[in-house]
Structure 1
């Protein structure tokens, strides 16, 4: 089959790989001009570990494993460590793999077969289905016809909007926003890596891996209506959210964010849909069921979803109606579990009041076996 995949993130690349190795002709379109690799390390958990083994990628993924979460600790306004998170609150199991997003992205891209190609600086403008196929008009002005279209284009999916309706119909805001910025590594000591500072409803942190340092700016807020393509607006939102606070490293983090041309900012939200397919169009990953970074499971859902979709198309002999139904029945239990796990993460990382910050720290300090570890959170999708 001739299949179009929208989005070259983890969901799009893994789906393209799973489809490509089964003989489908796959075209991936990505509106950015390069693979998106910014953001902190991500997690491969549970059955997704077996999925990467089936894809032949597990050894390469394990070779890129990092221990960023194991260095996470909470500090006071002067940077003094006051609490750590016990190991049992960090992971599902000892088999969980944390690795840089860029490493997993590059591993998936390098494994694509010749019949799966990526077109950068391209995205979908319109979709028209006639029962036998889907006519696609691209933002570049070109057009093409495909047997199936896979929307793997994230929380703000264009495919979902075109086929299923406005994002607002499916988005569940979790009351948080996150900003990520790359920091000049030479400006921060190794001891700074992993420190997180809270004041009510806010968290500022420094994390890192290899030779990279990243700033995290997380805050509680009602849903904000803004242009998520306007970088200057996003930077102003973050600056305003932390205005008036000069404790610890907040000023330097805000300065770095303001200067970062690839600053990442978005709501911490989930997508809840009654179905992920309509006609010859199907959604995979965050486009269909974003679990939010607090779950630490978005990457794993992207990996299982891509494999399940490809397997079901193969089993159904190309009958997309049967395949899409079976894909959804297999994937939905994973999604429902992941989406149910987010509340504890938000309360741990961003307590709403001073009293809740104190209670969190007291609880963590009183726990036995306080090895350095961090909540199972992936800061980027």
Structure 2
């Protein structure tokens, strides 16, 4: 096809997050002309604690962005299990996980990917798709400027929906079926401007109670990330009041104590934060014709899995590889991409419940099981055996799924 005097295959990538930027970067590397559109007025600069496992590290290295992404992992990271009175017990450190995932801010990954985009990649802010109509030869997409209301219909060879778990592309191309599956949990996250009082920079904490928990995640060169996680019976009610009010209600009515109160107050004062419900996206198919979903729009592994960034980068890289490998046979490329990704993502989705239990025990029974597991991991012999079991489970998080 020829578009506006330029020869080559043209792809619309909706969403300027990790999955969208990684996809656009890889498409450009294999000769496509990506056009990135983003609902927001500009690129996000903030972010919360995130881990990049071996899956994402391998893809980031091949994309040429790994050094730019960096690594904020603290060499002597120490985690403490605490209670409301401030009593401490040894906790489980992310640094102890097999493969030692990189600990980062979300913005580190987005900036590293964004900086690698060639200058000729077109990016349009305040732009959303309003209609998607496809035929055997291409896709007509109506794009609307949210600032002016002006709309234009353009033709593309491929549309990639990387616009998050509440994806507009998914709704337009796959219909109104509800693919979001709630876990009945909420998360509230931010990044602090200084360490938690009474804790060194390399020290993090976990306060885990039935149905609720709070975590701080330390970095080598930055104040820690802060995460509240809690169970809810009414997601809509959580959004009907200010986020800090919902978080405070979830951790009441018991007295907070000095440590928890300090963390609640610092969340309330944070200039930027994330407050959202936790959902999985489960779909029988991630592509339809010339429209394909990527990252949270397709599978949404949730914050509990720790694999959102890694799967988004790997998925974007692999899509470009398959498009290059299959040439003009777009259906074959998309089929091959999904056939490679689906078993990998399916395994990650199946482990989310166990990961959620580690983050936030659902009830008293899960809390006791979690406490018992942590004690066993500190026991000589038993701890080594459990580490070997965990290493086997962690292999999937370090699988190089996008390897050519």
Common fold: TM-score over 0.5: yes
Task: Kindly indicate whether the alpha-carbon contact (under 8 Å) linking 1:10 and 1:299 is maintained by their aligned counterparts in 2.
Answer: yes
Partner SS, residue 178 of structure 1 = strand
Partner of 2:209: 199
Structure 2 CA distance for partners of 1:355 and 1:310, relative to 1, 3 Å: closer
> Does residue 1:239 correspond to 2:263, yes or no?
no
Structure 2 CA distance for partners of 1:131 and 1:43, relative to 1, 3 Å: same
Task: Kindly indicate whether the alpha-carbon contact (under 8 Å) linking 1:20 and 1:115 is maintained by their aligned counterparts in 2.
Answer: no
Task: Kindly indicate whether the alpha-carbon contact (under 8 Å) linking 1:65 and 1:98 is maintained by their aligned counterparts in 2.
Answer: yes
Alignment of 1:294-313 (within 5 A): 294-313=304-323
CA deviation string 1:217-266 (max 9, x = no partner)? 110123623697x8x65444333322324224333333333344532112
Partner of 1:220: 231
Partner of 2:97: 91
> Does residue 1:252 correspond to 2:262, yes or no?
yes
Q: 5+ residue gaps in structure 2?
A: 1-8, 388-392, 398-404
State which of 19, 23, 34 in structure 2 corresponds to 1:26: 34
Structure 2 CA distance for partners of 1:41 and 1:213, relative to 1, 3 Å: closer
Mapped partners of 2:236, 2:93: distance in 1 = 37
Structure 1 stretch 170-179 or stretch 64-73: which is displaced more? 64-73
Task: Kindly indicate whether the alpha-carbon contact (under 8 Å) linking 1:155 and 1:287 is maintained by their aligned counterparts in 2.
Answer: yes
Mapped partners of 1:117, 1:287: distance in 2 = 22
Partner SS, residue 123 of structure 1 = strand
> Does residue 1:14 correspond to 2:22, yes or no?
yes
> Does residue 1:291 correspond to 2:301, yes or no?
yes
State which of 360, 373, 379 in structure 2 corresponds to 1:368: 379
Q: 5+ residue gaps in structure 1?
A: none
State which of 142, 148, 165 in structure 2 corresponds to 1:137: 142
Task: Kindly indicate whether the alpha-carbon contact (under 8 Å) linking 2:78 and 2:93 is maintained by their aligned counterparts in 1.
Answer: no
Partner of 1:106: 111
> Does residue 1:159 correspond to 2:164, yes or no?
no
RMSD: 3.0
Task: Kindly indicate whether the alpha-carbon contact (under 8 Å) linking 1:2 and 1:146 is maintained by their aligned counterparts in 2.
Answer: yes
> Does residue 1:171 correspond to 2:180, yes or no?
yes
Task: Kindly indicate whether the alpha-carbon contact (under 8 Å) linking 2:48 and 2:191 is maintained by their aligned counterparts in 1.
Answer: no
Partner of 1:82: 89
> Does residue 1:66 correspond to 2:73, yes or no?
yes
CA deviation string 1:27-64 (max 9, x = no partner)? 11122233334333322223433222221223344x43
Deviation at 1:326, TM superposition (A): 1.0
Deviation at 1:129, TM superposition (A): 2.3
Mapped partners of 1:74, 1:124: distance in 2 = 46
Deviation at 1:186, TM superposition (A): 6.8
Partner of 1:315: 325
> Does residue 1:35 correspond to 2:43, yes or no?
yes
State which of 192, 195, 206 in structure 2 corresponds to 1:183: 192
Structure 1 stretch 4-13 or stretch 179-188: which is displaced more? 179-188
Partner SS, residue 299 of structure 1 = helix
Answer 1 or 2: higher relative contact order, Cα 8 Å, separation at least 6. Answer: 1
The normalised TM-score by structure 1 is 0.86
Partner SS, residue 194 of structure 1 = strand
Task: Kindly indicate whether the alpha-carbon contact (under 8 Å) linking 1:46 and 1:92 is maintained by their aligned counterparts in 2.
Answer: no
Partner of 2:402: none
Partner SS, residue 279 of structure 2 = strand
Partner SS, residue 235 of structure 2 = coil
Partner SS, residue 333 of structure 1 = helix
Partner SS, residue 145 of structure 1 = strand
Structure 2 CA distance for partners of 1:104 and 1:321, relative to 1, 3 Å: same
Mapped partners of 2:97, 2:196: distance in 1 = 31
Larger Rg: 2
Deviation at 1:16, TM superposition (A): 0.5
